[in-house]
């Protein structure tokens, strides 16, 4: 175990050096570029190399090199030596940056020195930038250590970061000098940045939100860390073939990760299986089982225009070297010899391993526990070190805030209890009080399948001590429920227990079972009468069943008398489960949704019983996105226009200033510039589409985009059905009619279907089949194109979103918690078409109802519409039926889409009955799309709508969200470095 949880963030410290907390040893900070015309001073150093290696780096060819005297002056090793005495002797100009890059290319190489090509240029550049971040990181945490401030810890299974180079140098305000430096070395900055693979640490909005939060935390100077897992392959890399989606391993670490610091001196034991025994001291001891080590990998996260640089700590897993069975290996039993090592390492192989098998379930649970256990041990070690010799555990919640991003880190609750009770010797009462005051939970979904439930038996085997603790928490909850509702109304009490307990389908502990039984006995109906009534009901039901069978078979009752004698099939016992979301609500002090409508659904439906019991726990924290990455850096053309018209670049930190664009919305000069910026971005995307798919699209057509995880509730199927309807109508018209009735469109899809989600993969296949037909139809030409962009990720989003003109956020109302891509699109002047779901509701309020294309059923209507369907009362629109028949005609190829179409038909049954109301909303959707065409024909009106979307997006900065978390959940304050 590490003796210190926040050892200095040096790439080169020895174990002995790293173990010592060296406060105030940094002579100064790496500054950000000055806000005035003068450049601030920056010490740009190389990694600690042997000082005797000070020599000029000229062994690899570059297009332009500095002179001998300049090279000597800019030797980064010499500059490092200088760092202890002078803060202002080194300016971050292009020559010094080029020298640092050259240094890393020679002394920290991952490539042979003969060439200085793009991959090597990227790695050397990234390592030189990392040096600057390390200095700021060390300074930040030296200061936090000195002040012993309260710190927030954000635990998430996903951090979808995207590329880091442009973001880092943008936040340091060094984009220009880096571009010039790389030009001196014969490369363009954008080409170098393009070499960086996206970090495969996330899947969708959950992970992207987490990364936006880290950016805002650093920018706003809040003391915080992120904790996650370092996946070797992440989710998967998506290929699109004639058969649809194909998954292959993502090799994002193939060339190494230049941003991370591997902290072999910071590791913690993590245990699985084993058994729990009581010691002579009365304490519980978890012994035996399988032991692994979690090793820290640190990634610095810089703030914008600030010295503050916080940390994302990622855990990798390994077994101790003694676990390798050398004798078995020498005997030829190679697999057996390395089994323990393989079992440990595979925990961090991929994000969300398939969990249809028991092995997959075990692996997922191991991942979740590894994240929680390693992170909490690290947090506690830091708390103890900062406390010195006098550790007061009552102060723990005053120094630590733990945020669980969704239910994946739920095991934080029993793990913190285990450490406090079993390891630190606290009483149950004190540990429970500390845990509840420390932990908070963000709910991200209303989908039942996403509110995690784990098999009690599986968890009992894997984490035996935690199940004991969870059972005790469940007992505490039962006492609370009984105290709240009493025992007079047994039906109400049973209902509340069934709804709220953490353990599902588990018998009540004996002490409570008696209470419920006694309350049942208090009912007025005599038991004999009740038994007689129930018996009569059973007999009557049996007679009805016999009669029904007889009618079905055309026989009388006597002919099936033998069947009446047969015993029915035994009903299998329902599985015993642990409800993780309920545990989160019970074990934490705050529960928040991520949009106003979602938070109301959380209170009114998902956790209504808990809300009635603890209304003070429930909050809303509408999501946000960082305006740095999602407009300032990814859309420089538009950013320049905004700055010019507002008169300041302060909007990047204070997005409220975006509202000032409203004053100029009708100015023709602004509108012309706005359209030019949009078209420039569309030209880039057209080239990108040709490169990735082979399809040629016109930048003069409307770019209509839906990019997000492929899921039935997100209704990509509704979008593609609308396109099919559009295509069918075009085919029924003459060329002149088509041109008169339809605006040219490029319909772009992107997103991954989970590998085992068969229906989602069918949707991907269907979209690509429609594209293959439409895009090769000479009658249609540029009037309609359908493109599926493979392997959608953050970097692809950074290209598509600035070019978007219409964006689809069309989930079934009440099913999308928030969405964050809708915010990014609006921020970049894209107009949304969508339902009143998630953050769409608030976006529409801010940008104005006239600047949002609304359609579809409302959230409060959904349950009634499903009931109507189940009763057979739904009458599908003829246009919807027309589309289904058109698909079944084979116009899009020979693939059999009966299963896909079947999900939209019938009135009941799993995977049928159009649960997500595609058919219900279809007529409203296509009528709304006609309004889109009409609006787009008037480019002055469309540009006005676009400007007002950007102007109204100010609320959706993650800076605003983080201020609310800090104030209302974490109780932390900004810490401005001196």
Pairwise pLDDT comparison (28 vs 387), residue with the higher score: 387
Q: Which helix (H) or strand (E) holds 278?
A: strand 275-278
Assigned token pair, 932: 């889109």
Of the candidate ranges 89-93, 573-577, 945-949, 972-976, the one whose mean pLDDT is the lowest: 89-93
pLDDT for res 566: 66
φ/ψ of 395, rounded to 5, equals -85, -5
Check if the beta carbon of residue 475 is closer than 8 Å to that of residue 549: no
Q: Residue 519 — very low, low, confident or very high, per pLDDT cuts 50/70/90?
A: low
pTM greater than 0.75 (yes/no) = yes
Q: How far is CA 466 from the centre of its chain?
A: 26
Of the candidate ranges 95-99, 516-520, 542-546, 697-701, the one whose mean pLDDT is the lowest: 542-546
Question: Is 714 labeled as catalytic in the residue annotation?
Answer: yes
Of the candidate ranges 498-502, 547-551, 926-930, the one whose mean pLDDT is the lowest: 547-551
Catalytic residue from among 820, 835, 943, 961: 820
Catalytic residue from among 163, 232, 709, 738: 709
pLDDT for res 518: 61
Question: Is 429 labeled as catalytic in the residue annotation?
Answer: no
Catalytic residue from among 361, 364, 714, 955: 714
Catalytic residue from among 8, 408, 444, 621: 444
- Region 332-347 average pLDDT: 93
Residue limits of CATH 3.40.50.2000 in the chain: 627-956
Q: How far is CA 483 from the centre of its chain?
A: 39
Catalytic residue from among 708, 715, 726, 765: 708
Give the separation between CA 55 and CA 1, rounded to whole angstroms.
Answer: 39
What residue ranges in 443-561 does DSSP mark as E strands? 453-455, 503-504
Above 70 in pLDDT, residue 942? yes
Which residues partner with 618 through β-bridges?
591
Above 80 in pLDDT, residue 573? yes
Assigned token pair, 516: 């419920």
DSSP state, 234?
B
φ/ψ of 111, rounded to 5, equals -130, 165
Share of the chain above pLDDT 70, in %: 85
Give the separation between CA 189 and CA 477, rounded to whole angstroms.
Answer: 58
pLDDT digits (tens, 9 = 90+) for 521-547: 554 445 444 454 445 554 554 455 445
pLDDT digits (tens, 9 = 90+) for 594-633: 999 999 999 999 999 999 999 999 999 999 999 999 999 9
pLDDT for res 108: 81
pLDDT for res 73: 37
pLDDT for res 112: 78
Pairwise pLDDT comparison (542 vs 900), residue with the higher score: 900
Assigned token pair, 941: 């009106």
Write down the CATH number for the domain with range 627-956: 3.40.50.2000
Above 70 in pLDDT, residue 83? no
Above 70 in pLDDT, residue 380? yes
Q: Residue 90 — very low, low, confident or very high, per pLDDT cuts 50/70/90?
A: very low
The single residue listed with the structure tokens 């293959």 is: 772
Above 60 in pLDDT, residue 159? yes
pLDDT for res 520: 54
Q: Residue 570 — very low, low, confident or very high, per pLDDT cuts 50/70/90?
A: confident
Above 70 in pLDDT, residue 353? yes
Q: Which contacts of 495-499 are long-range, i.e. CB under 8 A and separated by 24 or more positions? A: 496/609, 499/609
Question: Is 820 labeled as catalytic in the residue annotation?
Answer: yes
Catalytic residue from among 318, 824, 869, 960: 824
């Amino acid at each position: 175990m590490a003796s210190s949880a926040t050892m200095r963030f040096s790439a080169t410290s020895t174990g002995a050096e790293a173990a010592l907390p060296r406060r105030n040893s940094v002579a100064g900070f790496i500054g950000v570029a000055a806000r005035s015309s003068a450049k601030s001073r920056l010490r740009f150093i190389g990694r600690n190399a042997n000082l005797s290696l000070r020599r000029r780096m000229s062994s690899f060819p570059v297009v332009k090199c500095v002179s001998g005297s300049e090279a000597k002056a800019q030797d980064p090793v010499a500059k490092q030596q200088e760092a202890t005495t002078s803060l202002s002797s080194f300016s971050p100009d292009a020559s010094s940056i080029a020298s640092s890059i050259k240094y890393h290319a020679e002394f920290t190489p991952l490539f042979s020195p003969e060439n200085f090509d793009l991959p090597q240029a990227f790695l050397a550049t990234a390592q030189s930038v990392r040096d600057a971040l390390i200095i700021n990181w060390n300074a930040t945490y030296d200061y936090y250590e000195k002040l012993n401030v309260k710190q927030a810890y954000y635990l998430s299974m996903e951090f979808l970061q995207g590329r880091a180079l442009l973001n880092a140098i943008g936040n340091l305000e060094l984009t220009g000098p880096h571009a010039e430096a790389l030009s001196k070395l014969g490369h363009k900055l954008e080409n170098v940045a393009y070499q960086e693979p996206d970090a495969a640490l996330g899947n969708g909005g959950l992970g992207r939100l987490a990364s936006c939060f880290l950016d805002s935390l650093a920018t706003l100077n809040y003391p915080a860390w992120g904790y996650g897992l370092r996946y070797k392959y992440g989710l998967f890399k998506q290929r699109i073939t004639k058969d649809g989606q194909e998954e292959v391993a993502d090799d994002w670490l193939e060339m190494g990760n230049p941003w991370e610091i591997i902290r072999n001196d910071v590791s913690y034991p993590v245990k699985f299986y084993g058994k729990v025994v009581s010691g002579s001291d009365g304490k519980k001891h978890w012994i035996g089982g399988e032991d692994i080590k979690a090793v820290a990998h640190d990634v610095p996260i810089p703030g914008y225009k600030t010295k503050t640089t916080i940390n994302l700590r990622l855990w990798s897993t390994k077994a101790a070297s003694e676990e390798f069975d050398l004798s078995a290996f020498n005997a030829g039993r190679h697999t057996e010899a390395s089994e323990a090592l393989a079992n440990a390492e595979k925990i961090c192989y991929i994000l969300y391993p398939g969990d249809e098998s028991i092995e997959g379930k075990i692996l997922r649970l191991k991942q979740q526990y590894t994240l929680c256990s390693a992170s909490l041990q690290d947090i506690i070690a830091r708390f103890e070190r900062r406390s010195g010799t006098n550790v007061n555990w009552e102060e723990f919640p005053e120094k630590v805030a733990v945020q669980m991003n969704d239910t994946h880190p739920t095991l934080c609750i029993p793990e913190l209890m285990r450490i406090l009770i079993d390891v630190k010797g606290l009483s149950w009462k004190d540990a429970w009080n500390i845990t509840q005051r420390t932990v908070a939970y963000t709910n991200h979904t209303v989908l039942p399948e996403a509110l995690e439930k784990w098999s009690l038996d599986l968890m009992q085997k894997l984490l035996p001590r935690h199940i004991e603790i969870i059972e005790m928490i469940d007992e505490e909850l039962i006492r609370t429920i009984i105290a709240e509702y009493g025992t007079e109304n047994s039906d109400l009490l049973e209902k509340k227990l069934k709804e709220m307990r953490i353990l599902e389908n588990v018998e009540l502990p004996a002490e409570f079972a008696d209470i419920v039984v006694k309350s049942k006995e208090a009912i007025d109906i005599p038991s004999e009468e009740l038994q007689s009534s129930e018996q009569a009901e059973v007999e009557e039901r049996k007679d009805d069943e016999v009669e029904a069978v007889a009618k079905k078979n055309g026989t009388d009752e006597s002919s099936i008398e033998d069947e009446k004698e047969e015993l029915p099939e035994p009903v299998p016992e329902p599985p015993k489960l642990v409800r993780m979301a309920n545990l989160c609500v019970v074990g934490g002090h705050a529960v928040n949704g991520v949009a106003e409508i979602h938070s109301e659904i959380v209170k009114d439906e998902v956790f209504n019983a808990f809300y009635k019991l603890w209304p003070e726990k429930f909050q809303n924290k509408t999501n946000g996105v960082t305006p740095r990455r999602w407009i300032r850096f990814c859309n420089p053309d538009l950013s320049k226009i905004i700055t010019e018209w507002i008169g300041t670049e302060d909007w990047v930190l204070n997005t409220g200033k975006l509202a000032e664009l409203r004053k100029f919305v009708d100015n023709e000069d602004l509108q012309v510039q706005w359209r030019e910026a949009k078209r420039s971005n569309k030209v880039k995307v057209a080239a990108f589409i040709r490169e990735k798919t082979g399809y040629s699209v016109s930048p003069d057509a409307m770019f209509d985009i839906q990019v997000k995880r492929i899921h039935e509730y997100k209704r990509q199927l509704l979008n593609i059905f609308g396109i099919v309807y559009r295509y069918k109508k075009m085919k029924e018209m003459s060329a002149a009619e088509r041109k008169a009735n339809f605006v040219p469109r490029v319909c772009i899809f992107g997103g991954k279907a989970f590998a085992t989600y068969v229906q989602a993969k069918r949707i991907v296949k269907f979209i690509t089949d429609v594209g293959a037909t439409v895009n090769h139809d000479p009658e249609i030409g540029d009037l309609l194109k359908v493109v599926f962009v493979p392997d959608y990720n953050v970097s692809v989003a950074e290209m598509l979103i600035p070019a978007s003109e219409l964006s689809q956020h069309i989930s079934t109302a009440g099913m999308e918690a928030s969405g964050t891509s809708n915010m990014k699109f609006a921020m970049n002047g894209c107009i949304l078409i969508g339902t009143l779901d998630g953050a769409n509701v608030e976006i529409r309020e801010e940008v104005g109802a006239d600047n949002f294309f609304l359609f579809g059923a409302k959230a409060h209507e959904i349950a009634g519409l499903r009931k109507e369907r189940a009763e057979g009362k739904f009458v599908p629109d003829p246009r919807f039926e027309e589309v289904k028949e058109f698909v079944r005609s084979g116009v899009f190829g020979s693939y059999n889409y009966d299963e896909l179409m079947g999900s939209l038909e019938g009135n009941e049954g799993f995977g049928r009955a159009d649960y997500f109301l595609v058919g219900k909303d279809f007529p409203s959707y296509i009528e709304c799309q006609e309004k889109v065409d009409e609006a787009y024909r008037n480019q002055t009106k469309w540009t006005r709508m676009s400007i007002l979307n950007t102007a109204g997006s100010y609320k959706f900065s993650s800076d605003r969200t983080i201020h609310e978390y800090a104030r209302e959940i974490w109780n932390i304050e900004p810490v401005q470095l001196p």
